[in-house]
């Protein structure tokens, strides 16, 4: 049976819309005009949820400031429909892709139309108009950047930071468990002086703690909202105080201290807060790349690599080599990190395109930012659960590698000098002997003098 359709209209004329969908004419036009990435690159759900919070908060603010226009019945219908959007009950009614108008106008109208359509159904009559009621005191130009900030701040505060804290806690536990274990340090992928394994882990932990603090600092600027600036930042058609009151309502709904942006002309055209925050995500991605690489290097082998740690074996690693197991969690982390670094380029370019009073690269900017936050949160959680939490030191291999390291000769620098120490290391390397044999053979120290001055455990 063919789908039933109904006729909707906008300022350009009539449009046929599926009868079982709440959206209206403008959504349908966008759906047909931008068949790009359909089903794969739709507007992020975080933006949809943020818009729902925004619309309900705006309705409540309008109810206080324009009670003659925003009646209690209208406000209740808008809020009830918005609650269903937040609960995920209306997900099928948001089909629009990222690759649309750069202001996000059609996604704003998609939300207006769905809330009006569902709100009217709840009311049992045609109560709400998408523009006059649901979009009251607003413009796409101030609502989309507001939704971006709500979604971005929530993603950082409620997803990325908690995932980070879980991995930080794991590394702190591993530090304590590996406190007394000495191993070879490495610089330039070459042997270096000794380090305690707990010290190496502490470097991972401290990097993530620094990333967490940078992300926290980046949340602050995102709390300033553009709502109330309407079309170009002047606040045309919004009542006095709407910007402040609507921001208060959003803050109450989300549980974060959102406020109105001091300068709406900046808020509409500049995306520097998003760039700043994504920079913190890129820093986190860089550190996760380093940590994941360290882990897979240390776990390399099992017989012909470093083999200084073992990590959980999660799945077979080869379709042809029986028994092979690969560091797959490390690999997913490094791929996610690469994606985030690429996203940072897009976010930066998109933010640079604020021509005059509006940035028209907002959908792609939001899409990349939220993908980065989502990927990092999920990647870190998976890495923590399926790899980091199961790291175990191979003490025997660590000790063997340490004892074979020629860089232990550094301990002799204060005794025999740099040049003699270098000759000792070079002779030991050429002849495949230990440092003690080489040093004694060169006549730099007696065996007793060597033992008296050579203590690798004191070098860390």
Q: Identify the active-site residue in 93, 300, 318, 319.
A: 318
Q: What is the pLDDT of residues 18-37, one digit of tens each?
A: 999 999 999 999 999 999 99
The mean pLDDT of 81-107, rounded to a whole number, is 97
Q: What is the pLDDT of residues 105-130, one digit of tens each?
A: 999 999 999 999 999 999 999 999 99
| Cα 29 from chain centroid (whole Å) | 32
Domains of the chain, CATH where assigned: 20-136 (1.10.275.10), 152-225+261-396 (1.20.200.10), 407-458 (1.10.40.30)
Q: What is the pLDDT of residues 181-206, one digit of tens each?
A: 999 999 999 999 999 999 999 999 99
The mean pLDDT of 215-225, rounded to a whole number, is 98
The mean pLDDT of 297-313, rounded to a whole number, is 96
What percent of the chain shows pLDDT beyond 70? Answer: 100
| pLDDT surpassing 60 at residue 2 | no
Active site residue 278: no
Which pLDDT band holds residue 1 (cuts at 50, 70, 90)? very low
Q: What is the pLDDT of residues 389-426, one digit of tens each?
A: 999 999 999 999 999 999 999 999 999 999 999 999 99
Q: Identify the active-site residue in 139, 188, 198, 278.
A: 188
The mean pLDDT of 271-282, rounded to a whole number, is 98
pTM of the predicted structure, to 2 decimals: 0.95
Res 102: pLDDT: 97
The mean pLDDT of 150-155, rounded to a whole number, is 98
- Those residues whose C-beta lies under 8 Å from the C-beta of residue 424, and which sit 6 or more positions away, are 409, 412, 416, 435, 438, 439, 442, 444
Classify the C-alpha dihedral 227-232-234-238 as positive or negative.
negative
What percent of the chain shows pLDDT beyond 90? Answer: 98
Torsion of CA 94, 97, 101, 105, to 10 degrees: 10
Active site residue 318: yes
Work out the mean pLDDT of the chain and round it to a whole number: 97
């Amino acid at each position: 049976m063919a789908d039933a359709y109904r006729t909707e209209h906008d300022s350009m004329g009539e449009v046929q819309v599926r009868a079982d969908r709440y959206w209206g004419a403008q959504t349908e036009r966008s759906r047909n005009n931008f068949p790009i990435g359909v089903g794969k690159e739709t507007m992020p759900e975080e933006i949809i949820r943020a818009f729902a919070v925004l619309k309900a908060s705006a309705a409540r603010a309008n109810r206080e400031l324009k009670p003659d226009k925003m009646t209690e019945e209208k406000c209740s219908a808008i809020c009830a429909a918005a609650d269903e959007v937040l609960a995920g009950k209306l997900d099928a009614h948001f089909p629009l892709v990222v690759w649309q108008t750069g202001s996000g106008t059609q996604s704003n109208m998609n939300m207006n139309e769905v809330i009006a359509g569902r709100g009217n159904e709840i009311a049992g009559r045609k109560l709400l108009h998408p523009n006059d009621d649901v979009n009251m005191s607003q413009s796409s130009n101030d609502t989309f950047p507001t939704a971006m900030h709500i979604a971005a701040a929530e993603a950082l505060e409620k997803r990325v930071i908690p995932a980070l804290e879980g991995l930080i806690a794991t590394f702190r536990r591993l530090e304590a468990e590996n406190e007394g274990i000495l191993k070879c340090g490495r610089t330039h992928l070459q042997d270096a002086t000794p380090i305690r394994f707990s010290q190496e882990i502490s470097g991972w932990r401290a990097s993530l703690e620094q990333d967490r603090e940078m992300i926290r600092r980046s949340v602050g600027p995102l709390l300033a909202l553009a709502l109330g600036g309407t079309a170009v930042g002047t606040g045309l058609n919004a009542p006095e105080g709407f910007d402040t009151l609507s921001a208060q309502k959003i803050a109450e709904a989300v549980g974060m201290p959102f406020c109105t942006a001091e300068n709406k002309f900046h808020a509409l055209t500049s995306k520097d807060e998003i760039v700043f925050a994504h920079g913190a995500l890129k820093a986190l991605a860089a550190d996760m790349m380093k940590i994941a690489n360290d882990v897979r290097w240390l776990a390399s082998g099992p017989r012909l690599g470093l083999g200084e740690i073992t990590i959980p074996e999660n799945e077979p690693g080869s379709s042809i080599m029986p028994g092979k197991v690969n560091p797959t969690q490390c690999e997913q982390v490094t791929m996610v990190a690469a994606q985030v670094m690429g996203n940072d380029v897009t976010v930066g370019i998109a933010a640079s395109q604020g021509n005059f009073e509006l940035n028209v690269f907002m959908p792609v900017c939001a899409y990349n930012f939220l993908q980065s936050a989502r990927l990092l949160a999920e990647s870190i959680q998976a890495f923590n659960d399926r790899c980091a939490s199961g790291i175990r030191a191979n003490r025997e291999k660590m000790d063997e590698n340490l004892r074979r390291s020629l860089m232990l000769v550094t301990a002799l620098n204060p005794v025999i000098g740099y040049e003699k120490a270098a000759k000792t290391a070079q002779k030991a390397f050429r002849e495949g002997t230990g440092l003690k044999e080489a040093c004694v053979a060169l006549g730099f120290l007696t065996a007793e003098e060597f033992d008296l001055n050579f203590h690798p455990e004191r070098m860390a």
